[in-house]
Each structure stands twice: as structure tokens, then as C-alpha cells.
Amino acid sequence: MLIAIAVFFAAVQELQPEWLGLAERDPTALAAGQWWRVITALFAYDGGPVQKLGIVFGALALGIIAERRFGTVEWLIIAFVSGLVGQIAGLWWQPYGAGSSVAVAGLLGATGVWLAWPATKLPWFARLGPVIILALAIFLLARRDLHGPPIFVGAALAAWQLRRGRPG
């Protein structure tokens, strides 16, 4: 579903390029009361075709894993909440912009937690993934990159789901 949404809004933006200006994070517009831009920024893309393809393929790969491990509703919650956190972080660190890569970053954090979860039966080398993901999140936070916070949020939401007994 996330892929269909990403493809749909990428197509909308190709046909109506002004969509980006209406949907992106914009502190002036937010100050004028356009609070919805924190949400609509998830459905616009400021990086061109490479960004759009990267988001679609990242959402596809991580979305498949997350949906199988957490369930449809749970992985959509992880993606959406992580994406919102990323857009909010973007207000401070990158005030103008848009994209759903922050939602994909949340799925990356969730996947990392699942890989590290004790009940997950994976070979030892697969457990290096979470270490790399954690290091990436710390690096991104240090650089004030808006993808760092969603990785942590996705990880926290996944841990909460796994603790509740969701399949792993």
C-alpha cells in the first residue's frame, strides 16, 4: 500500500509540479497556520527521479519485511509515525523539503530491531545489521539529518510490538 501511495503522489507531482510547493515543509506557511504541511510533506518529493525510485524500492524491500513481521496495520503505523517524526525534525534541521524517505527510515529501524530480537532465529552474521543501523542513526543525528530520529522511532515502535507478542 505504501508503494502504491508513493507511486500515486510521484505521478501527481509529475503531472502537477506545483504540488511540491503546496505540500512541502515551509516554515512561513506553517506559521501562517498551514499545519497540514507536516503530513503532506510525506506525499511530495523534492529530490527528483532518483529520490522517487529510491523511496519506492526502499519502501518495497523494507515494507515487505515489516508487513510480514508486524502485520499490515502495525507496519503502516510504524511508517506513518516515523515519517511524521522525520518531518518534524526536518522543521528544525531542514526547514524546506519533502519526501517519504523518513517513513522508510522508520521501517529500517523496525527491521533492525526485529533482526536483533532474541526470538528471531537468524544466523549470527544477520545480527550485525542492527549494529550498523544503530550506528547509522547515531551518525545521522550527529549530522542533524532528519532521517536519524525516524530510525529510532521505528525501532522503538517495533520493540513495543515485539514485546506485545507480535510474530517475529
Q: Topology of 2-163 in CATH?
A: Rhomboid-like fold (1.20.1540)
Q: Measured between alpha carbons, how far is 67 from 153 in angstroms, rounded to an integer?
A: 17
Q: Report pLDDT digits (tens) over 50-83.
A: 888 888 888 889 988 888 889 999 999 999 999 9
pTM of the model: 0.90
How many Cβ atoms are within 10 Å of 93's Cβ, its own excluded?
A: 15
Task: Indicate the domain borders of the chain.
Answer: 2-163
Q: How many residues are present in the chain? A: 168
For residue 29, what is the enclosing H or E element?
A: helix 27-31
pLDDT tens digits, 105-155: 999 999 999 888 877 777 877 778 888 999 999 999 999 999 999 999 999
